[in-house]
Amino acid sequence: MSHVSEPRKKVLHELFDAVVAGDVQKARKLAERAINEGVSASVALEKMMNAMRAVDAKYMRKEYFTVDVAAASTAMREAFKVLEPHLDVKPANIVGKVVIGSLKGNIQGLGKDIVTAALRSAGFQVIDLGVNVSPETFVTLAEREKAQVIAVSVSVDETVPFLKDLIDIINKKNLGSQVKTVIGGRAASEKTRKEYRIDAYAQDAWDCVKKVRDLLSH
């Protein structure tokens, strides 16, 4: 990032710190300042993604609690609203609609928020259902919104079996050819994908963008 001028570097560092601290108003103001000072929205978004990774690391080390993670997620979401209109979205040949949420029993929305931001920055329409979403809600919304992809975040091992209900409902409604599924999160894996007959497994936010593109191109 040597091409970024000192004042721009400063505003990016401050934005990073505001997101990590979960300071919503400050994060929003800094996002506005970054845009006004000519910082590329995608560079600012990348900085916020890094901030969320730092938050995740703190959470893993038990330095942060769920409440801290939630505050950081909110700060990122609010700052993202400022950046979103300025993102230089490459017009995707396939613009799809994705319904995303954290599966029933999962109240941690950190990973999902990062994935949502990444998908939106890649030009997808994203309907974020939040956390603790039942399999029925995923399918009902996907059907109503004519979404092509359901993206499910799973961070709690005990909730993985709810994926069976999700697939059962999709099959019962004969939506298998219209709606594809992708999973991610701490409790998800390639093994989980195969076991529950999910269409794709994503390791992180950018992998999810790639997987969604792949699902839409088939």
Residue 166 three-state SS = helix
Number of CB atoms found within 10 A of residue 13's CB: 12
Stated as kind and residue range, the H or E segment containing 99 is strand 97-102
Q: Are 154 and 128 part of one and the same domain?
A: yes
Total domains, the chain: 2
* Cα 185 to the center of its chain, rounded Å: 10
Q: Are 106 and 202 part of one and the same domain?
A: yes
Q: Are 107 and 34 part of one and the same domain?
A: no
Q: Are 117 and 24 part of one and the same domain?
A: no
Q: Are 61 and 121 part of one and the same domain?
A: no
Residue 39 within a domain: yes
Residue 201 within a domain: yes
Contact 192, 183 (CB under 8 A): yes
pLDDT score of 135? 98
pLDDT tens by residue, the chain, 218 residues: 446 688 899 999 999 999 999 999 999 999 999 999 999 988 998 899 889 888 878 887 999 887 888 788 889 889 988 988 887 655 555 578 999 999 999 987 777 887 887 888 777 899 999 999 999 999 999 999 999 999 999 999 999 999 999 999 999 999 999 999 999 998 999 999 999 999 999 998 878 988 999 999 87
Burial of 14 (0-12, 13-18, 19+ CB in 10 A): middle
Q: Are 104 and 207 part of one and the same domain?
A: yes
Q: Are 77 and 126 part of one and the same domain?
A: no
Domain around 35: 6-86
Choose the final residue of a domain: 66, 86, 106.
Answer: 86
